[in-house]
Amino acid sequence: MSSSQTHVARGFGAELRTSALLALPLSLGHLSSGLIGFVDSAIAGHHGTRTLAAVSIGTALFWLPMMIPMGTLMSLPPSVSQMDGGGRRGEIAPLFRQALWLAVALGIVLFALLSLAPMAMAAFGIAEDIRPGASAFLHGIRWGIPAFTLYLCMRYLSDGLHWSLPTMVFGFGGLLVLLPFGYVLTFGKFGFPELGAGGLGVASALMMWGQALGFALYLSKSKRFADLGLFARFERPHAPTLKQLLATGLPIGVTVAMEGSLFIVTALLIGRLGPVSSAAHQIAINVASLAFMIPLGLAEATTVRVGHALGRVLRQAQDERDMSGVRRAAFAGYALLLLTQTVSATIMVGGRHAIVGLYSGDAAVAALAASLLLYAAAFQFPDGVQVVSAGSLRGLKDTRVPMLLAALAYWGIGMPVGATLGFGLGGLTPVLGPRGMWIGLIAGLSVAAVLLCTRFLRSSRRIPMSPPEGTLTSGA
């Protein structure tokens, strides 16, 4: 091996270690979020199949309007990491404070939408015996929405500065709130009324407020962030900065919504098939969601590393710019992804019956859920590739074309295939029920993986002559 090849190998090895150390707390933090879904599903499942089905539909309707705001706030990590890598650390705090204003506005809008969400159940044809519990869940959880959007804003700031440990700590801290409160309020223990699915909604709201207040206290007291002066002053909303945040963030939000809504609408359509199908789908999708937390953490770490590398590139003279560091950061994410997805798929195939037994003792629900886990295992690799590719593109602030590619993959291919196989097409195709809908998920994710990976390989060859469109300034 030549000296240049040795240097490249060492550079990739260092990038691999850095990405892994950044991604581990992020993945564990996301895993804690996935475990929140597990706790909800396990408590609801032991309360009854109807309660589990209600929480499944309520969770879907909760995340349906949440996707775009959550994705919009994802503009913060690449912006912060580019500022940090480009030696513009003094611009981070003003940007963060403007992002807080955006988070407050998004939280208010989401609260209003969730107040109206129960009306959508009839339109989706959700079984009538599921609707009351799902409505109670939504009425409870909506009170935590403003806290959740603020929490996301603070978390993304910390992640963008290569400090992802708080994401893990506050994620697992939330479980310590949800588990006891969810159990007590669902089953009506210690003198509290038995609220069923509504109790889990209230407990989730309490958890969100605890996480937001805890993170705010941490940021204000931590020496790591002291030089930034995050809360030293508060400017009024600054329209140009908010516009720039939205210009970068809204395409990310729509992209996230394209994928997320594919899963959510799948759950709502399966809800038309009754409590057994809905409960089995909830179990399988919860397991798949838990597994997805690891590549999601890798994707966020890759966003930060790619953004940081691009920040260094933009500091260089135009004739000296080298994008190899940007591609190296992305390839490290892909390499780690192959390992994690192999493990996830293997566990789903080999341990599916034991996993399902943790959720429900209903034989019909368990049998269907175990079969759906085979489909979940099948989409582990395409799901991982598409999310890491999307994260790499976010690091480049390349968000608009990926939005269109996601729309094509998920809604031009994934949903039509799933709906056709799940419910039939005028007698021309077999009716496969939930299994057909899951085949649609596999199709949509596979196409997205190919399109987004190809897009990154093309975009990463271009050396920008100036900061990419949407690069943010303090503006305040």
Centroid of chain to Cα 72: 12
pLDDT at site 121: 78
The 3-class SS string of the chain reads CCHHHHHHHHHHHHHHHHHHHHHHHHHHHHHHHHHHHHHHHHHHHHHCHHHHHHHHHHHHHHHHHHHHHHHHHCCHHHHHHHHHHCCCHHHHHHHHHHHHHHHHHHHHHHHHHHHHHHHHHHHHCCCCCCHHHHHHHHHHHHHHHHHHHHHHHHHHHHHHCCCCHHHHHHHHHHHHHHHHHHHHHHHCCCCCCCCCHHHHHHHHHHHHHHHHHHHHHHHHHCHHHHHHCCCCCCCCCCHHHHHHHHHHHHHHHHHHHHHHHHHHHHHHHHHHHCHHHHHHHHHHHHHHHHHHHHHHHHHHHHHHHHHHHHHHHHHCCHHHCCCHHHHHHHHHHHHHHHHHHHHHHHHHHHCHHHHHHCCCCCHHHHHHHHHHHHHHHHCHHHHHHHHHHHHHHHHCCCCHHHHHHHHHHHHHHHHHHHHHHHHCCCCCCCCCCHHHHHHHHHHHHHHHHHHHHHHHHHHCCCCCCCCCCCCCCCCC
Whose CA is closest to 476, among 157, 101, 223, 75?
Answer: 101
CA atoms within 13 A on the CB side of 194: 6
pLDDT at site 144: 93
pLDDT tens string 2-59 = 444 444 455 778 888 888 888 888 788 777 776 777 788 788 888 888 888 888 788 8
pLDDT at site 5: 46
pLDDT tens string 327-355 = 888 889 899 999 999 999 999 999 988 98
pLDDT at site 316: 59
Whose CA is closest to 347, among 284, 291, 299?
Answer: 291
pTM exceeds 0.75, yes or no = no
- pLDDT of 474 over the 50 cut: no
> pLDDT grade, residue 315 (50/70/90)?
low
- pLDDT of 1 over the 80 cut: no
> pLDDT grade, residue 172 (50/70/90)?
confident
- Most confidently modeled of 190-194, 199-203, 253-257, 472-476? 199-203
- pLDDT of 382 over the 70 cut: yes
Mean pLDDT of 212-238: 90
Mean pLDDT of 424-429: 65
Residue-wise over 308-330: b if at least 16 C-beta within 10 A, else e?
bbbbbbbeeeeeeeebebbbbbb
pLDDT at site 412: 94
Mean pLDDT of 85-92: 80
Mean pLDDT of 197-223: 93
pLDDT tens string 117-144 = 777 777 777 778 888 888 899 999 999 9
pLDDT at site 323: 66
pLDDT cut 70: percent of the chain above it = 91
Mean pLDDT of 385-408: 89
For tokens 């997320």, the residue is 260
pLDDT at site 427: 60
> pLDDT grade, residue 465 (50/70/90)?
very low
- Most confidently modeled of 68-82, 97-111, 112-126, 249-263? 97-111
Calpha distance 326→363 (Å, rounded) = 50
pLDDT at site 472: 40
pLDDT at site 215: 94
Mean pLDDT of 184-205: 90
Decide which of 145 and 474 is more confident.
145
- pLDDT of 318 over the 80 cut: no
Mean pLDDT of 101-119: 87
pLDDT at site 410: 92
pLDDT cut 90: percent of the chain above it = 28
Decide which of 123 and 438 is more confident.
438
> pLDDT grade, residue 253 (50/70/90)?
confident
> pLDDT grade, residue 414 (50/70/90)?
very high
Q: What is the mean pLDDT of the chain?
A: 83
pLDDT at site 429: 63
Other C-beta atoms within 10 Å of 129: how many?
12
